[in-house]
A = this chain, B = another copy of it.
Amino acid sequence: MSMQEKSEIISRLSKNMKEYRSKQKITQEELSFRSGLHRNYISDTERGTRNISLEALEKIAKGLEVEVEDLFKRQ
């Protein structure tokens, strides 16, 4: 997926994920452990280079202990 094709919600997700993770002072490694997703999957998602599925989204929300909707809030 080239950068300019990056969808708006993928960008929102990546920003919100980073924000929640840094507020909670946890590493990508820790989020990977909590969510059951590989660390590379977490870092790709935070860089907005992966078009993830709903089930992965749900795991990330659970790992960050936030609601799925919170991951799409506008900055």
Chain A contact residues, CB within 8 Å of chain B: 7-10, 13, 51-55, 57-58, 61, 67-69, 72-73
A8 to B55, CA, bound (A): 9
Q: How far apart are the CA atoms of A31 and B71 in the complex, in Å? A: 25
Protomer copies? 2
Q: Within 8 Å CB of A73, what residues of B?
A: 69
Q: Which 4 A-B pairs have the closest CB atoms?
A: A69-B69, A51-B53, A69-B72, A9-B58
Q: Which B residues touch A10, using CB under 8 A? A: 54-55
Complex: chain B residue closest to A1, CB-CB: B55
Q: How far is the CB of A73 from chain B (nearest CB, A)?
A: 7
**Is A51 within 8 A of B54, CB to CB?**
yes
